[in-house]
Amino acid sequence: MPSNFSVWYNKLVDFNVESLFSKRREPGPPRTIFVNGPLPDDYYDHKHRIKKEHVYSSNQVITSKYTLITFIPRNLLEQFRRIANIFFLTIAILQFFSIFSTISPGVAILPLIIVIAITALKDGYEDIKRHQSDRSVNYSQVRVLKGGEYRNENVTAGKSKTFVRAIVPTFKRAGAGKKGRGDGNVEVLQHGAPPEGLRTDGAELAPVATEEHGLDYDDGEPVETGGVFHHHGASRKPHWKMSIWEDLRVGDIVKITDDEPLPADILICATSEDENVAYVETKNLDGETNLKSRSACPALTHLNSARACADKSNAFRVDCDRPEMNLYKLNAAVITPDGTKTAVDTNMVLLRGTVLRNTRWVIGVVLFTGYDTKIVLNSGATPSKRSRVERQMNPQVFINLLILAAMAVACGIADSLLEQHYFPLDAPWLYGDTQSDNNPKVNGVITWAYALITFQNIVPISLYISIEVVRTCQALFIYFDKEIYYEKTNQATLARSWNLSDDLGQIEYIFSDKTGTLTQNAMVFRQCTVGGRVYKGDEIGSDITAVGAIPEESHPADSKADVRTSSIASPAKDSSASTSTDATPDPLSAGAVKKAEHVLAHFHDSNLADDIAAAQQAVAGSVEDRHGHMLNGFWTVLALCHTALVSVDPGTGAIQYKAQSPDEAALVQAAADVGFVFRGRDREVLTLQTPFARAGGKYERYELLNILEFTSARKRMSVIIRKLDEDGEDDGKLYLLSKGADNVIMERLSKGQDALVATTEDHLAEFASEGLRTLTLAYKVVPEEQYQAWSKRYYEATVSLDNREDKIEAVSDEIEHDLSLLGATAIEDRLQDGVPETIADLKEAGIKVWVLTGDKLETAIAIGHSTNLISREDNIIIIRGGGEDHTPVYLQMVNAIEEFFPESGILQDENVGYDEGLVQEQQASGYPLRRVNTGASSLVGHNNGDRPGGFVLVIDGGALTHALADDTHRSLLLRLAMQCEGVICCRVSPLQKALVVKLVKDGIGTMTLAIGDGANDVSMIQAADVGVGISGEEGLQAVNSSDYAIAQFRFLKRLLLVHGHWSYARNGNMIVNFFYKNIISIGVLWWFQIYCAWSSQYVFDYTYILFWNTFWTIAPVIGIGLFDRIVDDHVLMALPELYAHSRRHEYFGTKLFIIYMLDGIVQSALIFFLILYAYRTTSSRSDGYDVYLYEFSTTMVISAVTAANLFNGLNTYVWTGWIFFAVFLGIVLVWGYTAVYSALSPSTILTLVYGNDHFLFESAYFWFCVLLAVTLSLLPRYVAKAYKLAFAPNDLDRARWLHKIDPTHDFSKDKHGGLVGVTISGSGVRKSRQARLSRYRPHLFHGSRTDMSTGMRSVNRGFDFATEENGVAMQRIQSHLSERHQAPPAAKQRRKPSSLMQSLTIRHTLRRKKHASHVSHSSDMNDEPPSLSPPHSPPPHDKS
């Protein structure tokens, strides 16, 4: 049981200042928002004031800690958490009493004031930067509805007054305001997408918008001009006015345009897209890279203009539940005046932190603002972080205080006893001790208090000043380091918190976001295998980019163009039109393909082009012709099996694909680059251009019958299509096109494809080994009769009310069999520069890297492989959350421990709550670890877990919800995770990220670092000991909350391995040397008490004590903190394993503190007694008189200063000019001061040492004592260091020695333990034979993966595909298809030509052009056997 004292001490240490100044605001009650209508009477109290529960939070979000009012009290409380500061204040107060005064009380308290002031200025400067960041966010602009009859009656709380504006220069505010009121708003509008058109009475009007004085009119009416009151009159009309974010209120109607961030949680009323769908990028919120589709509330879709929104007849109210931090939960309803209630869910709401994409505009109502928004609810208050070194200093200071207290008590008791003994004997020095405040009984207490002042330097106040100065300089070293300066964005690495530099050297766990941190969220189609042949793409220059892949005729004038001419010229355009830049934005007439967003390069392969050309000219039945069938089928599946949309860039006239995920866009674009150009979708009609068309070209058209959606459970997506002839009639051929995971697709293949399957699996393994994301493609020809029967069953499943999803899955699985394998794709999710190397080196340094991402499990695993987080030999343990049919999470973790870590002893720990009987009962109830064989894919058997690599735990958000629910689950998860080399948490919310960080941080008391670049990473960054923000494309939210801001993830390596290692070694060494040098002076004073009746008198002149920490000994420790290098930076970068010395806290701790304290005590005893007894023998004076006190005590001072400075120098690792200067500065100063001070006569200054120089420097004792005392003091440490270097060197010693002997030595060759065999000798360096052998383990295996929820084991082949599951966009397509299948299919009818779906950004109708030649060259897929024929065969060739 802990003692009461330890409990009290822990409470004091853990005291949280934030709780006094920033209490967590509880989410408000359920709310009703009235739009365009008055508030009801019950919203007011009897004084007609709005009730508190109906006052909503403002949209102002503040991450700063202080205001001008709270700065002084809060900062003082934070600083007086240091025990030393409380002690210094007590000592300063004591000296205000004359009986204890040694110098002026004002001078006594001045050092404390300086320390407090310097620290406060530093904290204030850091917080001003936070205020500036907050202002940049809160002063962002958004369009808000104004004018007309519209008025927002909902009440919002006032904004917080930070008072920072009061100290900003007036001229700056004036300039900023002028810009914001004028051209600034117009500039913002100009960068938005074109304003929406207005449909009136079914007619589509041309989109007309007018912008005047920051106002946006979208009603198609001209702005009133002329007149004195022009602006005032115009503003009375309904319009959109630019307003700042912090002025946004609940109930405001806003208009968001393309690529703009969302300022609050907003209910969608209407959008610019068909069926009021909007696309939003949520990676800043949940980390997922694919776009999410959201739809407008059906009851509000008529609110599509400012005029409609301001119309009083369109009033409504929204009933909402209380603010909820769950990102995926929202309970609300829209109630119109007629009482109609429409349910609202998360698919109708755009959350703050997301960005509108591929949607020209959205009009919505603000539901939640500021601290009630989900993203802010998932973040925490700005913490006051203290470094580990500072926290460790508190116990050490406490130890010194206990020593001081013991010394003072000893002096007080001894003095009291001696006075009581000698006073009756009439001791002359006690004459007159008969007063009330001066007698033997009271003087003991006075001596005790006086001893506290005498020995106060045992806790040096200058230490804290020195630490602040050193850490500030270390922050500047980081800022000016060119190695971590990003020239592309002109950004240096910035230390936003200056007091955490030494924590960078002690990091044991790194928690990293994925998107934008490890990856660029940009895809490159790298390779593919088709029919057993691999196409690896042509590398152009040093990288695969669109620049080199563009044919010369495409855009010769622009080397940076990202538009590529498709491989077949558009048949709808003649040669004269093909070069026109004013082409109509028609997907059928577009002659070029532009890179999709987040797709870095076009795909081109010369071998593939040659094979397609050969197939075009091949004789039917030849090898080239058969491979051409495979090529045609493969690329047709990529071009048609997707949900991407087609848009046309009005500037270039080029097609650009808009997809929900970058990888889907990369697949469709790659097909277009090859020549299989997807030209658009008109509801259920797909248009495709292929390179196998005859000269002049033609489009193939397919009717989309069904989409079998991709889900994480199915791991595949299929479409069923019907081939249409030129006249729009079907030709009877039905095809199923599928893409998905290799094991899922291959187990559904028809028999007789073993050779192709084996070859493709080999290629997939090769792709996966390169860290590429794979997808396997297949197809089948579906007989009409089979489809008609299946379609009926599928329709019945879709309208079923019970177990609809299970029934749809079962019916879908029926038709997805007997497939023909086509090949597989390999896409690179482009990483940030240097990420794999950085993670590999961090792991080599002994740092465990955990990835916390909102992406799905397959994506997380794929990134784990590509980033080296999961090596080829590693084994993956998967823990999933799920429904009732899944193994419980606790049982999954128990099974994993029993199978893979049976000797760990985890289950015997009482904290994990393991109950063997209960576990056996659950297993008997139907939850055993099942061994599932999934068929065609190669599965790992009995040797799983015996791979040469370690284990990586992958756990999803659903499992984390259970695993973090109670102490038992948390303890078991933590112990399991500790056994693994790395952990990947996928599908996690921002709050779960913070909880995982706290689990490790608090569970094992380790040092943690969190790194991210988005708002969803803020809570994680704040929860970690050190937070690092990346200034990426996702804004500055993460940077604003971080302690360090870097531009690239790869900079983290140097930040930790060099600056962190250096800072921790410097600061730790500086602190223990600081305590050492002070204990020398205190020790000399203490030993003197034996000879002065324990009266707390000084042995030497007080000025030497006064200047001890300011002149004599301050420079060497500052030099250590600033200029010492444990080893050079290039060595630390080349040998990451050296970081282990820093990570294991070898440079600072209680053990090291005690060693240095004992060293100081021993040296003080040597100096005092050696000099004392030297001078107590024969007098050193030539005149025969005895020595004066200050004569030999000055010798002690000079010896102590010299010994302390040289000892500090002995503890440095590199002697530069600055170190030489620092070490000898104090020695020179004390000698010079002694000479000058001793020569000053009492008439000049009050002095007790006048003439001391005359006796001191002429004495042989002086020189002999200084030399002997200093030598004897330094000898033990010198001998110990020499012995360690010669007989017990560590890696750092070997590295320094190697660098000394051979400054050009390549340390990268010594990686992986290469320094172990280095022997240090006088003749140089020798390496043992083992050290010369390679330390690399062979990469012979692919890691296995075990899903603990199902027991499935498989080899990872890199499958991954990102898409939104059950999204609004997919529901819209399915609804179109279901309308046509509400009854059994009727007889075939001739289809009339219909327009293709309007493009995403330009509304235009696609019109087909008929050519007689098209009919004669149409392909007949029945020419090939159904089991081998791809969806479209190459055209037959004339054999004549």
Q: Three-state DSSP class for 335? A: strand
Asked if 734 and 783 count as a contact pair (C-beta separation under 8 A), the reply is yes
What CA–CA distances, in Å, run from 10 to 83, 425, 672, 708, 1070? 13, 51, 65, 59, 27
Phi, then psi, of 148 in degrees rounded to 5 = 65, -145
Q: Three-state DSSP class for 307? A: helix
Place of tokens 């996702």: 1034
Q: Mark 1118-1156 as b/e (b = at least 16 C-beta within 10 Å).
A: bbbbbbbbbbbbebbbbbbbbbebbbebbbbbeebbeeb
What is the Cα–Cα distance from 604 to 546, expressed in whole angstroms?
10
What is the Cα–Cα distance from 1340 to 1350, expressed in whole angstroms?
27
Half-sphere exposure at residue 45, Cβ-oriented, CA atoms within 13 angstroms = 8
Tokens of 346: 């998360």
- The four Cα atoms 895, 956, 849, 945 give a dihedral, to 10 degrees, of 30
* Radius of gyration from C-alpha coordinates of the chain: 39
Half-sphere exposure at residue 792, Cβ-oriented, CA atoms within 13 angstroms = 8
Tokens of 265: 């949680």
State the catalytic residue, choosing from 513, 673, 874, 1013. 513
513 is catalytic: yes
Tokens of 1176: 């107590």
What is the Cα–Cα distance from 588 to 1408, expressed in whole angstroms?
8
What is the Cα–Cα distance from 1433 to 918, expressed in whole angstroms?
61
Asked if 1373 and 643 count as a contact pair (C-beta separation under 8 A), the reply is yes
Phi, then psi, of 700 in degrees rounded to 5 = -95, 140
Beta-bridge partner residues of 1345: 876, 1354
**Cα 1093 vs. chain centroid, distance in angstroms?**
63
Place of tokens 């009339």: 1392
What is the Cα–Cα distance from 650 to 582, expressed in whole angstroms?
8
Tokens of 393: 């200093």
Query: What single letter denotes the amino acid at residue 136?
Result: S
| Listed residue (1319, 1322, 1312) closest to 1293, CA to CA | 1319
What CA–CA distances, in Å, run from 250 to 299, 367, 620, 749? 19, 6, 69, 56
Asked if 232 and 242 count as a contact pair (C-beta separation under 8 A), the reply is no
What is the Cα–Cα distance from 142 to 245, expressed in whole angstroms?
6
Strands (E), 1308-1377: 1318-1321, 1324-1327, 1344-1347, 1352-1355
Asked if 727 and 503 count as a contact pair (C-beta separation under 8 A), the reply is no
Cα–Cα–Cα angle for 520, 521, 527, rounded to 5 degrees: 95
Number of helices (H), then strands (E), in the chain: 46, 45
**Cα 184 vs. chain centroid, distance in angstroms?**
32
C-beta atoms surrounding 201 within 10 Å: 4
Tokens of 166: 């009061």
Asked if 678 and 657 count as a contact pair (C-beta separation under 8 A), the reply is yes
Asked if 533 and 1032 count as a contact pair (C-beta separation under 8 A), the reply is no
**Cα 765 vs. chain centroid, distance in angstroms?**
31
Residues marked as catalytic = 513
